[in-house]
Structure 1
Amino acid sequence: MGMIHIDLFATLDLVGQAPGDPEEDPDGFPYGGWQAPLFDETVGRHVGAGMESMDALLLGRRTYDIFAAFWPDQVDGVDGGVAELFNSVPKYVASRGNPDLGWAGSTQLGPDLVSAVHELRDRHEHIHVIGSLNLVQTLLHERLFDRLDLWIFPIVLGVGKKVFDGGTVPANLTLLEPPVTSSTGAVLLRYGLGAGTPGTGDMRREDRGGGPN
């Protein structure tokens, strides 16, 4: 069965809206492009390395439209080969509307998103979801992902769409490797979806060294 990878860029207060471009998602959000001043060679290298095994893209409608307007015009070999990769793999769009599927290799998923994603996992080995926060909310709620690559950048915005928003179900995540830190203070956390739901305990128990004062 194939794996669903969620690749996200977020602030310390977990805003993931419009990281790359002021016009990406400007509706009521004044900080579009917040990631650009903090993006360095380390971030670029690890982002590219994390996508090397990608054999399909799964995107929400808005992210798809942004990518489809940009990547087909990029020269092969630029951006560490990302353009060539994005243009060559199949693209799947989660949308209730009628998106323009002019980007080569694009297909709109059916109305039953959960079933459609399960079918994609039978068809591909490594499916990457980039941005697409509305789609990500569904995948988190359904526990329909295997890996979360979360870049955290050292700024706080206070407004904007959050990575973990209302409706997220409790889940355990397992850190897959030591965090990566960039020169700008960005940190990459690579998690896998764990089994079960978060447990609870009592930090006041004497055997934990946290007894009452």
Structure 2
Amino acid sequence: MGLIHIELFTTLDLVGQAPGGPDEDPAGFPFGGWQAPLLDEATGTQIAAAYEGTDALLLGRRTYDLFAAYWPHQEGGQDNEFATLFNSVPKYVASRGKPDLSWAGSTQLGPDLAAAVREIRDRHRHVKVVGSLNLVQTLLREKLFDRLDLWVHPIVLGVGKKVFDGGAVPTNVTLLEPPTAGRKGTVFLRYALADGTPATGDMSAPDRGLGDDR
């Protein structure tokens, strides 16, 4: 069985909407392209490494349309490695509508998203979910993911669609490696889905060393 990897760029208040450019999401979001001033070499290296071994993409409709309009035209350009990868691997699209699937290797998922994702996981080793916040929120809610990579940028926007919305469910995750920070303050966090749900405790209990010691 393969792994479903969610790859996301977020702000400190976990806004993940339209990091790439002002025209990425035309829904009135005022901070499109917020990631661009915060990119640095370390973050670029981390992103490239995160995509090593990718053999499929799982995308929401909006992200798919953006990618399909850009990546097929980038072979030989400055993003050659990503263009070669994205153009060569299968692309699976989660959409209730009828997307244009003219990008080579594209397939629309059926109406039973959970079953479709499980089938993709059985078929591929490393499936990457990029952007696609509506899809991501469904995968998080249904716990249909194995890895969660977050690049947390040192800004707070206060508005915008967040990674975890009101439908988030209690979930345990495990940090897979020590966090690393880039020169401009972006912190890379890599988690794996863990069993169970969050536990609770009493921080004032004597064995915590936080009670009255008189």
Q: Please indicate, yes or no, whether the TM-score normalized by the shorter chain is above 0.5.
A: yes
Instruction: String of CA shifts for 1:95-132, please: whole Å, max 9, x gaps.
Output: 00000111110000001100000110111010000000
CA positional deviation for 1:210: 1.1
- Secondary structure at 2:79's aligned position in 1? helix
Q: Name the % identity.
A: 71
1:1-213 matches, within 5 Å, as 1-76=1-76, 78-79=78-79, 81-212=81-212
RMSD: 1.1
Question: For structure 1, which segment, 79-88 or 22-31, has the greater mean C-alpha deviation from structure 2 after superposition?
Answer: 79-88
Instruction: String of CA shifts for 1:69-105, please: whole Å, max 9, x gaps.
Output: 1111102473361110011000000000000111110
Number of equivalences: 213
- Secondary structure at 1:78's aligned position in 2? coil
Is the 8 Å Cα contact of residues 19 and 34 (structure 2) preserved in structure 1? yes
Q: Which amino acid aligns with 2:71?
A: W
CA positional deviation for 1:64: 0.3
d(CA) in 1 for partners of 2:203, 2:173: 21
d(CA) in 2 for partners of 1:56, 1:77: 22
Is the 8 Å Cα contact of residues 74 and 80 (structure 2) preserved in structure 1? no
Q: Which amino acid aligns with 1:200?
A: T
Q: Which amino acid aligns with 1:185?
A: G
Q: TM-score, normalised by structure 1?
A: 0.97
Is the 8 Å Cα contact of residues 176 and 192 (structure 1) preserved in structure 2? yes
Distance 1:208 1:5, change over 3 A: same
Q: TM-score, normalised by structure 2?
A: 0.97
Is the 8 Å Cα contact of residues 18 and 26 (structure 1) preserved in structure 2? no
- Secondary structure at 2:118's aligned position in 1? helix
Structure 1 residues without counterparts, runs of 5 or longer: none
Q: Which amino acid aligns with 2:123?
A: R
- Secondary structure at 1:189's aligned position in 2? strand
d(CA) in 2 for partners of 1:173, 1:76: 39
Instruction: String of CA shifts for 1:177-209, please: whole Å, max 9, x gaps.
Output: 011210110000000001100000000012111
Query: Which consecutive aligned stretches of 4+ in structure 1 deviate over 3 angstroms post-superposition?
Result: none
Structure 2 residues without counterparts, runs of 5 or longer: none
Is the 8 Å Cα contact of residues 110 and 116 (structure 2) preserved in structure 1? yes
Q: Which amino acid aligns with 2:115?
A: S
d(CA) in 2 for partners of 1:43, 1:141: 28
